[in-house]
Amino acid sequence: MTTFTESPRNAGFIYHEHDQQFSRENADVLLGQNLDAGTVVRLNADQRLTAWTNENFTDGTEDQLIGILINDTDATLAHTKAAYIARGAVVNLAELTYPAAAEAEMILQLKALDIITRS
């Protein structure tokens, strides 16, 4: 018998979200980024999405996360529009992409956005 392995799906990390018109926002993913669905993201100084790293930056921006990328987005060749969960959702912690050492900080910042993580 053949065994199939299914890879994670776009938006598969979402258990529940309020109305999509309320929970989702759009922004450009920064040129050079290739991000998976479920990546915890922040806005850079140019208001483009990048992966959240929980680091301090010298360009005057704070590493404040703003949500979770909904779909795989490849912006290696150009800035690319993408949707992200910005508020009002329950998500699967195990399917998010973030720095492992910053899990507690990430959970707190998501909670402030009314995004609740579950195992």
Query: Tell me, what CATH number does 45's domain have?
Result: 2.40.300.10
The answer as to whether 98 is a domain residue is yes
Name the phi and psi angles at 81, rounded to 5: -65, 140
Structure-derived torsion over alpha carbons of residues 44, 48, 54, 57, reported in degrees to the nearest 10? -20
The one-digit pLDDT tens for each residue of the chain (119 residues) are 777 666 667 888 999 999 878 999 999 999 999 999 999 999 988 899 999 988 866 555 567 899 999 999 999 999 999 999 999 999 999 999 999 999 999 999 999 999 999 98
Of 35, 27, 32, 30, whose CA–CA distance to 76 is shortest?
32
Structure tokens that stand for 116 in this block: 């609740």
d(CA 78, CA 33): 9
The answer as to whether 111 is a domain residue is yes
The answer as to whether 1 is a domain residue is no
Counting the structural domains of the chain, the total is 1
Of 90, 62, 81, 82, whose CA–CA distance to 52 is shortest?
62
Residue ranges making up the domain that contains 114? 14-118
The answer as to whether 9 is a domain residue is no
The answer as to whether 18 is a domain residue is yes
The answer as to whether 91 is a domain residue is yes
Q: Under 8 Å CB-to-CB from 36, ≥6 apart: which residues?
A: 8, 69, 72, 97
Q: Are 51 and 82 in contact (CB under 8 A)?
A: no
The answer as to whether 53 is a domain residue is yes
Q: What is the pLDDT of residue 17?
A: 93
